[in-house]
Each structure stands twice: as C-alpha cells, then as structure tokens.
Amino acid sequence: MGLKVDGVGQLVEGVNALEAALNTNRVKKVYLLESPNNTSSKYKNILETLRKKNLEIEVVKDQSKWNFHSRHNIVGICNEKKIYNETNFEQILKNKVLILDHIQDTNNFGAIVRSAAAFGFETIFIPKKRSVKITERTFTIASGGMEYIDIVLYNSIFSLLKKIKSNNYWTIGLDMSSKNKIKEINLVDQKIALVVGSEQNGISLEIQKKLDLVAQIDMSESIESLNASVAAAIAMHQIFIKK
C-alpha cells in the first residue's frame, strides 16, 4: 500500500480509536477489511462520518492483502499527533495534570491515558528517556483517549516539578505507605499535578520530598499494592469527584 506512518499517531487502529481521531479531524484516509463483523452501529457511524467528511475509504476484500494487525478490521491514516516539549508546556496547562515517572508498560500507559481522558486530566508528562514509547498500540489501548490528551516530554522530573509549582500547582504523589488518604484531602480550588511512579519502584523518596503531599489510596490490608494504571485511575477519579 506504500504507507509511510513513522510519526506519532499516524496509524490509528480499531473502531474506538478511529472514531476519536475523526472527532479531532486527524484522519486522512481509512482502510476497511471487508468482514461480517463490520455491522455494528459504531462501524456504520464511522462510515457515515467518513462520507460526510468526504474522506477516502479503501476496502480490502482479501484478508491476505490486509497489511495491518489481524485483530482490527478498520484503520485510519492520520495527520501526526503533536507532542509537546517541556520548554513550551505552559500554553497547554489545564487545572489537572498528570506526571508519570518512568512508566514502562504499554498496557499500563494506554490504560492511564484512557482514565486521564475520562477524568479530565488533559495533560500528561512523560520522561524522554527510560519510559514507555508511544506506538500504534498506545492509541488502541487508550481507546480514543489519546486524542483528548496533550503529551509533554520532559528531561528531569525535578526541574519539571519546580516549573509546575511556579505555575501554582499543588503536587500530589501516590505511595501506599503514606498516612494521608487521597479521599480525605480537600482539593477544592486547587490546581492539581498528580505524580505516579514506575510499576516496580513507585515514587522515590528523593522525589517525594519535592512534592507538596504524598497520599495513599484507601484499600483492604490483604493486598499490598495496586497496579500502576489502576492506582492512577482511582486517584484521578477521587480528584475528579472532589473538583
């Protein structure tokens, strides 16, 4: 097919991710594998939207000629998603932001992005090095969430926290050993920067000392800790309902 999709988010696979990309007007062309599974209302809505936007649809009838992942019957070729640098992030800040410290797993990252979009965390900071890479799978797992999130790459979490605080954000980290419970914190009228550590090590003590507050998620004592994406989702929901 002669595709060139090297940029971030230029290839979007799956119904939910493609529907969101259409909503943000990134889609240029769609490939559709002819299949009996293409009868859902979402497929029909996407095809109707494509026709209204006068976007090209190429139907592939032979599965052996399908050059995309076998789990998907529909993919979009899109304009590249803009990724921001920490030198100019002030222009996109919202009241709630998420800072990820070396999340490594694509599934975790995609799930975090999806939850962030659901709970109004519209800016996510990730390190340039030693962190998960944004791939086509990220967009799929996020199930459309990537379209509604601004991603900012940073070099040092310490300099980032300094900049965030200078923009009047209250920095909150997650750690299960803390005596503070996130559900009990007064978050009204606060701009929040939620910090989530890596899957293996959480947030280091050195970073914790730079935060305004470290809190835990209230849970049964029978389980020691939560998966990073689950913990992030619960914390973001707590902040969402409080604000």
**Is 209 part of any domain?**
yes
Q: Which residues in the chain show pLDDT less than 50?
A: 1-4
> Are residue 103 and residue 72 in the same domain, yes or no?
no
What is the domain count for the chain? Answer: 2
Amino acid at 136: E
> Are residue 135 and residue 54 in the same domain, yes or no?
no
**Quick check: 198 and 103 in contact, CB under 8 A?**
yes
- Please report the pLDDT score of residue 180 as a whole number: 86
> Are residue 20 and residue 119 in the same domain, yes or no?
no
**Is 62 part of any domain?**
yes
Q: What is the pLDDT of residues 44-98, one digit of tens each?
A: 889 899 999 999 999 999 888 898 888 888 999 999 999 998 887 888 888 899 9
Calpha distance 110→64 (Å, rounded): 29
**Is 1 part of any domain?**
no
Tokens, residue 193: 């920067």
Edge-to-edge strands of the sheet including 11-13? 11-13, 74-78, 27-33, 56-60
Residue 177: beta bridge partners? none
- Please report the pLDDT score of residue 63 as a whole number: 86
> Are residue 60 and residue 94 in the same domain, yes or no?
no
- Please report the pLDDT score of residue 2 as a whole number: 41
Strands (E) in the chain, as ranges, are 11-13, 27-33, 56-60, 74-78, 84-85, 96-100, 123-127, 150-154, 169-174, 191-196, 213-215
- Please report the pLDDT score of residue 224 as a whole number: 67
Last residue of a domain, one of 57, 78, 99: 78
Q: What is the CATH number of the domain that holds 109?
A: 3.40.1280.10
Q: What is the CATH number of the domain that holds 49?
A: 3.30.1330.30
Q: Which DSSP state fits 155?
A: S
Domain that holds residue 43: 11-78
Tokens 């070729």 locate to 77
> Are residue 23 and residue 112 in the same domain, yes or no?
no
Q: What are phi and psi of 139, to 5 degrees?
A: -65, -40
> Are residue 35 and residue 124 in the same domain, yes or no?
no
**Is 2 part of any domain?**
no
> Are residue 71 and residue 91 in the same domain, yes or no?
no
> Are residue 225 and residue 165 in the same domain, yes or no?
yes
Last residue of a domain, one of 78, 111, 129: 78
> Are residue 48 and residue 101 in the same domain, yes or no?
no
183-197 residues labelled b (16+ CB within 10 A) or e (exposed) = bebebeebbbbbbbb
Amino acid at 134: I
> Are residue 123 and residue 46 in the same domain, yes or no?
no
**Is 109 part of any domain?**
yes
- Please report the pLDDT score of residue 240 as a whole number: 92
- Please report the pLDDT score of residue 93 as a whole number: 86
Closest CA to 37 of 77, 72, 75, 11: 72
Three-state SS at 54:
coil
